[in-house]
Amino acid sequence: MFALTFLGTSASVPSAERNHPALLLEVAGQRMLIDCGEGTQRQLLRSGAGFRRLDRILLTHGHLDHVLGIPGLFSTLGLRQTSDVMTIHGGPRTLDIVIRMLTGLWGEGRAPIAVQFAPLSEEQVADAGDFVVGCFPVRHRDTDSFGFSFQSPARRHLLSDRLSALGVPDGPMRGELAAGRPVTIDGGRTIDPEDVLGPPSGAKKLVVIGDTETTDGLSKHVADADLLVIEATFLDRDAPTARDYGHLTAAEAAQFAATNNVRQLVLTHLSGRYEEGEILAEAAKIFPDVRIAADFDRITV
């Protein structure tokens, strides 16, 4: 299960209700940030999530509203004397911005916590067994921007009626069968996993796309996602301005979700120039299963 906590949902300029962009993802005992805008550490505290087991930051791009929270977060983690190594993933130019920012504050290689930098290209970011993180390039002005996909594999579960019918007792034998290994029960009969496992089920796919000026070429990464999180900075009536600033409209985001068989759409990176209801209405006409993200919303997939 993927659990998302929206820590910041504003576009460029924060408001009293919306902080700079940041998203906390929790899955299989791991916790990571997607972007880290200014004030993210306070948002972590206000959300109740805190700083425990936080050791990875995935950066969509290097614009300051997405990265300025890193120094403050690192300073706090240093004061707490965390022993974890923080890994920051981002495009090469994005990482260069972060490295220069940290070097300017503390000197080269002297950040308050141990940190390593992992440049992104279009490939798998991490395979944690219970889930896989992938990345793909997106276009946003002059940046090296990336979107992220998170996928958990389908699993086969034991069929209780088959176990009972074949006389497999509760206990370690069932664990062996669930792991794909045959067992021998009383009487010398061998039970094969295929005899008691159901069909694969439960695969989940989450896709997070930050700032982007177009959805061209992204369908293969988004198709059939259970949840798509994507920006909707402008409304359709301001589409020319959206092009000038390298952003999407709510209508474009909704059409993208509809075209790619997405199950649920969450819009974020919202501009204070619009009422929330306007954004929702424009998107819902095209893709009904849509919601507008608010700071501290929590969604599970």
Residues acting as catalytic residues = 65
Task: Report the length, in residues, of the chain.
Answer: 301
* Nearest residue to 147 via CA among 132, 137, 139, 157: 137
CB 242 within 8 A of CB 215: no
Residue 280, classed as helix, strand or coil, is helix
Alpha carbon distance 33, 23 (integer Å): 6
Q: How far is CA 133 from each of CA 16, 28, 87, 96, 161, rounded to the nearest angstrom?
A: 33, 13, 14, 22, 35
Alpha carbon distance 298, 165 (integer Å): 42
Alpha carbon distance 227, 291 (integer Å): 11
Strand pairing category for 265-268 and 290-292:
parallel
The neighbour count for residue 124, using CB atoms within 10 Å, is 10
243: left (phi over 0), alpha (psi -120 to 50) or beta: alpha
Give residue for tokens 């141990």. Answer: 114
159-163 long-range Cβ contacts below 8 angstroms, 24+ apart: 159/196, 159/197, 159/198, 162/195, 162/196, 163/196
